[in-house]
Structure 1
């Protein structure tokens, strides 16, 4: 009888960006491998209504809302372990940073970042910060092994959660299949693309204000996707007098985002803190040059294949934008370098190395 892995997908609602990309790609690829394991997912109320045909096993539809923070928190701490026991699971995997506070079987948690610990001042809901920190502590204390996306995040998990380094595994994320090298040419539209949720650490306000410093005769149009509801960046655009230069789009479908990437001259990522930096890797895989914050965690992803700027310095950001708007020769070199860089990351590797951690946990190693 094959070991059964319960996958905690209570946070999966279709609105969580990179963590959900990770879950889809990981389990989609595991489904195409001989793993020696069976899988069952515990889905949120919202997630169970989505197309989960990529998941390689049964999906249990719960009544737990992944959008209601308090109901979801209870589900993460208690309900997932109860269902795992009821289904006689041999292992629990929590792919979205938080996990059960107690289980009778080994648990593996993928912790994507430690932003609530390293940058609590940038979190949107201060009253929620302490509870999240406590939940991360409890989940890690129960975990047999922890997977994370970068060396920077691994160091922070050891620092803040005191998790043993020998049970901590760095498995970098990946992007889709890189495009052909020929496809990097022909980006003639003076457009900069930026994508992400409207959380303070994303630093969108400085990107907008830096755009105002770029001379109008070369200034590119800026499209920022990823907002939901009333966009908090609208007042910033109005204050900077950039209504004709900045387009704020909401959450866009994958095909619309791919279209924007194919037309844009570069992608801007002005973040102040990340656990990995998946958007810049996805851009590189599509031959899109990247302008990004000069942070160690992003250097792990982009190496020398990006234009790096100081995310706290408006003129530094503006200089990167000017380069993208006026130096097509350098953009072509960057696009080729980014494309080559993206080929060193793969979801097949993510699946393979994660599977190795699962088997270590099942064997009682750690």
Structure 2
């Protein structure tokens, strides 16, 4: 029996897209008679329902919310547990991995934000992340990533040979399944994401303020954590009656918002993939998103694209979709067709293929 240790030290329930990725992939991982999975969990994850994981969960004793403890756990703890648990392979699915490891490592890198845009990473954290990612990537026997754009960044910035990089795209259907039916509100815009600067939500609020008050839609923004930095922006722009700020929502709550919203707006300045547009399209919700190559890779011709550096462009994109029922219906159908080209089952199967490739190359 071959044992694969899955590094889940980062998983706390508050990390957004990377947690969705791991939960969906391992929740759908094809069974294999010769592979046993062991999850090395943060203390936060170990205290929750982990029935989605296809194997044993081990509590590492490391808090994923404690940044220093998490970093030390990634650098040194994962390799110690791999030896202690007699693992044959380690999968690190969240950008970081051991500083050195006698056990081969497959590393998933979702994006290279600290390399491409260090200005969007707070304080000295960008420098630390760059060092950790570069070290982990150079020691990994294979690197998984989620888009061709991210693959090109990995080859360019980390000097990893393209032959060692496997591109495995994500999907948009969640555990609750696609919810495409039911009535949609005529004036509710949804924005999903954390509050890191590259998510560009202040500019989205400026775009909302440019729309005439008499036809201005209500904006729901999810993904806040603690004191929301968008609150003073809402107050400064006088948008209180039109904006609702939410923290992290569980998949069922988020599905309900996708199902009832007029559109999803994704004004990001940088992504490794861009999960919210695909989640929205899989639920029949029209998407207005940034005109970035990686989002064209995800959304194809099904989305309306805007300039994320221009509040006026974002406002026009929102206004055009709001103004036409025919446009919304066309975008909804196109989005459903585009989302159907992606599947978490395929992502899981291709992930297993990459892990088996690494095992064969040991």
TM range (shorter): over 0.9
Equivalent of residue 55 in structure 1, options 44, 53, 56:
53
1:233 and 1:188 map into 2 onto residues whose CA distance is 24
1:232 and 1:55 map into 2 onto residues whose CA distance is 34
Query: Where does 1:91-240 land on structure 2 (aligned, <5 Å)?
Result: 91-123=89-121, 125-176=122-173, 179=178, 183=181, 186-240=183-237
Question: Match of 1:299?
Answer: 296
RMSD of aligned residue pairs (Cα, Å): 1.3
| Alignment deviations for residues 95-118 of structure 1 (CA, whole Å, 9 cap, x no partner) | 111011211121100000000000
Counting matched residue pairs gives 360
Once the 2 structures are TM-superposed, how far is the Cα of residue 364 of structure 1 from its aligned partner?
Answer: 1.2
1:200 and 1:104 map into 2 onto residues whose CA distance is 37
Once the 2 structures are TM-superposed, how far is the Cα of residue 36 of structure 1 from its aligned partner?
Answer: 3.0
| Alignment deviations for residues 212-271 of structure 1 (CA, whole Å, 9 cap, x no partner) | 111122211101011111110011111111111111112222222111111110001000
1:359 equivalent to 2:353? Answer: no
Are the equivalent residues in 2 in contact too, given 1:284–1:341 (CA < 8 A)?
A: yes
Question: Match of 1:267?
Answer: 264
Are the equivalent residues in 1 in contact too, given 2:107–2:137 (CA < 8 A)?
A: yes
SS in 2 for 1:12: coil
> 167-176 vs 247-256, which deviates more?
247-256
2:200 and 2:185 map into 1 onto residues whose CA distance is 27
> 129-138 vs 251-260, which deviates more?
251-260
Equivalent of residue 83 in structure 2, options 62, 68, 85:
85
SS in 1 for 2:213: coil
Once the 2 structures are TM-superposed, how far is the Cα of residue 119 of structure 1 from its aligned partner?
Answer: 0.5
2:237 and 2:337 map into 1 onto residues whose CA distance is 37
1:163 and 1:47 map into 2 onto residues whose CA distance is 31
SS in 2 for 1:52: coil
Query: Where does 1:277-288 land on structure 2 (aligned, <5 Å)?
Result: 277-288=274-285
Gaps of 5+ in 2: none
Are the equivalent residues in 2 in contact too, given 1:218–1:326 (CA < 8 A)?
A: no
Question: Match of 1:6?
Answer: 5
TM-score by length of 1: 0.96
Gaps of 5+ in 1: none
Are the equivalent residues in 2 in contact too, given 1:302–1:341 (CA < 8 A)?
A: yes
| Alignment deviations for residues 268-323 of structure 1 (CA, whole Å, 9 cap, x no partner) | 10000000001110000011000100100111100010010000011100001111
Are the equivalent residues in 1 in contact too, given 2:258–2:280 (CA < 8 A)?
A: yes
1:160 and 1:133 map into 2 onto residues whose CA distance is 10
Question: Match of 2:31?
Answer: 33
Question: Match of 1:334?
Answer: 331
SS in 1 for 2:214: coil
1:92 and 1:33 map into 2 onto residues whose CA distance is 17
1:225 and 1:179 map into 2 onto residues whose CA distance is 19
1:27 and 1:171 map into 2 onto residues whose CA distance is 14
C-alpha spacing 1:336/1:59, structure 2 compared with 1 (3 Å):
same
| Alignment deviations for residues 2-30 of structure 1 (CA, whole Å, 9 cap, x no partner) | 11001110001111011001111111111
Once the 2 structures are TM-superposed, how far is the Cα of residue 180 of structure 1 from its aligned partner?
Answer: 7.4
Question: Match of 1:43?
Answer: 41
